[in-house]
Amino acid sequence: MQIIHLANHAQTIGNGTVNMMVDLACVQARMGQEVVVASSGGGFEPLLRRHGITHIPSR
């Protein structure tokens, strides 16, 4: 299955919605899904990469 998460950003600023999206994306990737996150970026990008999640920068 291919999954895409859309978010305004991936910053590590304590935003509960972004934290949940990152947690969910990591679990989905661990389950063998192809996961992509599209956002303006932020501090979670290295974590996403470590889990094999592609980040697509958006404006």
Backbone angles phi, psi at 2, to 5 degrees: -105, 130
The band of 18, judged by pLDDT with boundaries at 50, 70 and 90, is very high
39 in Cβ contact with 55 (< 8 Å): yes
Backbone angles phi, psi at 55, to 5 degrees: -110, 130
Question: CA angle, 22 as apex, 13 and 18 as ends, to 5°?
Answer: 40
Residue 16 has pLDDT above 80, yes or no: yes
- Check residue 14 and give its pLDDT: 86
- Check residue 55 and give its pLDDT: 98
| Whole-prediction pTM | 0.92
Backbone angles phi, psi at 28, to 5 degrees: -60, -40
- Check residue 47 and give its pLDDT: 98
User: Bigger pLDDT: 44 or 14?
Assistant: 44
Strand, coil or helix: 25: helix
Number of domains in the chain: 1
What is the domain extent for residue 20? 2-57
